[in-house]
Amino acid sequence: DIQMTQSPSSLSASVGDRVTITCRASQSISRYLNWYQQKPGKAPKLLIYAASSLQSGVPSRFSGSRSGTDFTLTISSLQPEDFATYYCQQSYSTPPYTFGQGTKLEIK
Amino acid sequence: EVQLVESGGGLVQPGGSLRLSCAASGFTFSSYWMSWVRQAPGEGLEWVANIKQDGSEKYYVDSVKGRFTISRDNAKNSLYLQMNSLRVEDTAVYYCARNDYDSSGYYDYLNYWGQGTLVTVSS
């Protein structure tokens, strides 16, 4: 199975900061990488699919990129509503479609 | 409006069984792959299983193979997860989700999620 290693596991930042979260796949997964945001007690919400495509309705301050087996979620200017936990997920080839361990983004 | 509503969660003893349901509305259920994802208390997300539109293909995470069965009834717009031989480590909120594809048809993602149903396995 493909393993997804997400870092950091937690992050403290301030409103207006630029934040980067990384996810590394254990093998090549092309662009089969999605990013989700989850707030406490809520279901996850899709932010980015196919590594860099912004889901409709998601603010443009969110962006995704890929370099080989390394994937990055960037929030260009943190807003108060962005404090949440973020997960990457691979959807390459045959399931299981594993998630990363998550990154909890907290207010500094 | 797309809606996914899970039900069937509850408290069950180790070794017991439970059947989760997910009622879908607001879209043509029979046209989509569907998935189950779970989240143990205070932990991250774990992909559990998915099923093709006509039920002809099913996939599972190793930890539930042979114990859980995903199924669907397209006439009833419903997705199911039969869970047998439950273990304490199966305790989690279980979400059903719809698989969507990008315009190329290659890249899939979980675009719509239910609110989740809590399964607690404890003696």
Query: For residue range B38-70, what is the model confidence (pLDDT) as tens digits?
Result: 999 999 999 999 999 999 999 999 999 999 999
pLDDT for res B30: 98
pLDDT in tens, A27-80: 999 999 999 999 999 999 999 999 999 999 999 999 999 999 999 999 999 999
pLDDT band at residue A93 using 50, 70 and 90 as cut-offs: confident
Query: Looking at CA atoms only, how far is residue B96 from chain A in angstroms?
Result: 10
- Percent of chain A with pLDDT strictly greater than 70: 100
If you average pLDDT over residues B89-110, what whole number do you get?
Answer: 95
The residues, any chain, with a CB within 8 Å of residue A105's CB and separated by 6 or more, are: A10, A11, A13, A19, A21, A78, A82, A83, A84, A85, A86
Q: How far is A78 from chain B (nearest CA, A)?
A: 22
Q: What is the pLDDT of residue B54?
A: 97
Q: Of B61, B62, B80, which is closest to residue B70 (Cα–Cα)? A: B80
Chain B contact present for A50, CB below 8 A? yes
B96: nearest CA partner in chain A? A43
Q: How confident is the model at residue A108, as a pLDDT?
A: 87
CB contact under 8 A, B108 and A91: yes
Residue from A21, A23, A49 whose CB has the most chain B CBs within 10 Å, to mutate: A49
Residue B58: list chain A partners with CB under 8 A: none
The proportion of chain B whose per-residue pLDDT surpasses 90, expressed as a percent, equals 98
Instruction: Report cis status (omega within 30 of 0) of the bond before A8.
Output: yes
